[in-house]
Amino acid sequence: MALSGFEGFEKRLELQFSGDDPAIGIGLRRLHFSSIEEVLAAVQCTVVSAVGNQYFDAYVLSESSLFVYPTKIIIKTCGTTQLLKSIPPLLSHAHLLGLKICSCRYTRGNFIFPKAQPFPHTSFRDEAFYLEETLPSHLCYRKASVMPSKLPLQYTWHVFSASEEDQLVMEQKNPDVFTIEVCMTELDRVLGRKFFRPTGDSNSGDVAGKEMTVLTGIGGINPGALICDFAFDPCGYSMNGMDGAHYSTIHVTPEDGYSYASFECVGSIGDDREDIGETLKKVVKVFRPAKMSVSITTCAGIEVWINVKNALETIGLNCRSYVVDEFPAMGSIVFQTFTTRRT
C-alpha cells in the first residue's frame, strides 16, 4: 500500500515453455497448489478464488490474476507486489516438470506512486537489468522498449521481451491471435461507487463479487464467459472470464483521486465471437474513463488497432496518439491513447 493510495497499474509477466505436448499432457497445470503458493509468496500476494476448464486454470489474486495453461503462465499483479521475483521459482518448478522456458514478455504502464515500488520495480531500467540477469542465456533474442504517448506519464508503455531462436518460428503458427491490455483512469465517479461494498455488508468476497458483476454490467461484456469474481472490502473488484481457450480479466481500484480500471483479453481475428471493438465499447460504458490506453500485441498487422480506434471514437473517445514497435517472437505492439472530449 502506497502512502498516497493503492497502486492500480499492474505489472504483467507472460512466460512460454516447451518440452511437454499440450495435446496429450497438462504441463504446468500439474503444479501442486503448494507450488503456486510458493511462487505467489515471492511476489507477495495470495489466491482468493479459482476456476478451471479443459484449457487452463484461472486464479483471482489478492492483487490481480494468474492464468496457467499447459505451456504458458501469465501473472498480472498490482500494488507493491514484486512480480519479477516469481521467475526463479517458476523456472525451478517448470524444470521439474520437464519444461524449458522459450519466451518471456513483461509489460506495464507508469506507476501512479512510483516511489512506493520495491526493487526490482524501482525503475524500468532496474526491471530490465533484473530480467537480463535472471532469464537463462538461451533466450538470446532480447529487447527492452519504452513506448511514449502524448498523455501523462502513466500512459508510457514499457515492454521487455526475450525468446529463443525456435520461438521465432513457433509464433507464426498462430498469427491471428492478439492480446489487448487496456488501462483506464479518472473513472466516472457515479459508476465508480458501484465498486464499493455497502456499509455493514457481511457477504463473502465471492458473493459480493457476483453482485458487483451484475450491478455494474460487467456480466454483459461477454455473456458467454464463465466468470470468477471477487469484491474486496471496503472497495475494489477483480474478475477472470473463461471463454473456451481464451481468457479475459478486469481489475478495479475505484477510490477518488487515483481511480483505475484495467481490462485484458485474448482474441483471434476472424473467430465467431463478438468483434473486439464492440467488446471495448461495452468496457468503456461500464467505467466511462476520462483517459485510457490500449496496447495490442499481434502478428496480424494493423486491422485490430484500426478496428479499436474506429469503435472507440463512435462513443466519444479521441485517439490522441499511437506508436508501433516490433519485438522478437511477438510481432508488433501497437500502443494507443484516448481521452474523452471533456478532458
- Convert the pLDDT of each residue in 277-323 to its tens digit: 899 999 999 999 999 999 999 876 667 888 899 999 999 999 999 89
pLDDT at 2: 42
| Identity of the residue numbered 171 | E
Give the dihedral sign, CA 326/338/177/13.
Answer: positive
- Which of 103-117, 149-163, 170-184, 250-264 shows the lowest mean pLDDT across its residues? 170-184
251 is a catalytic site residue: yes
Provide the b/e sequence for 137-148 (b: ≥16 CB within 10 Å): eebeebbbbebe
pLDDT (average), residues 221-225: 92
Sheet holding 226-231, edge to edge: 226-231, 237-243, 246-253, 260-268, 177-185, 291-298, 331-340, 317-327
Interatomic CA distance for residues 66 and 14, integer angstroms: 10
User: Given 248, 251, 259, 332, which residue is catalytic?
Assistant: 251
Query: Of 149, 163, 238, 293, which is the active-site residue?
Result: 238
What proportion of the chain, given as a percentage, has pLDDT over 90? Answer: 73
Active-site entry in 49, 62, 64, 149 = 64
State the catalytic residue, choosing from 7, 14, 127, 264: 7
Condensed to tens digits (0 to 9), the pLDDT of residues 36-69 reads 999 999 999 999 999 999 999 999 999 999 999 9
C-beta atoms surrounding 32 within 10 Å: 9
Q: Determine whether 163 is an active site residue.
A: no
Separation between Cα atoms, residue 233 and residue 253, nearest integer Å:
12
* Catalytic annotation present for 64: yes
Catalytic residue among 10, 164, 181, 264: 10
pLDDT at 342 over 60: no
Instruction: Respond yes or no: is residue 228 known to be catalytic.
Output: no
Write down the pLDDT at residue 271: 61
Confidence at 179, pLDDT banded by 50, 70, 90: very high
pLDDT at 178 exceeding the cut of 90:
no
Q: Active-site residue 246, yes or no?
A: no
d(CA 125, CA 106): 13
Is the pLDDT at 129 greater than 80, yes or no? Answer: yes
Considering the segment(s) 11-340 as one domain, its CATH architecture is 4-Layer Sandwich (3.60)
Give the active site residue among 45, 78, 102, 228: 78
Strand runs labelled E in 4-69: 11-18, 47-52, 57-61, 64-68
Only one residue has cell 485474448, namely: 266
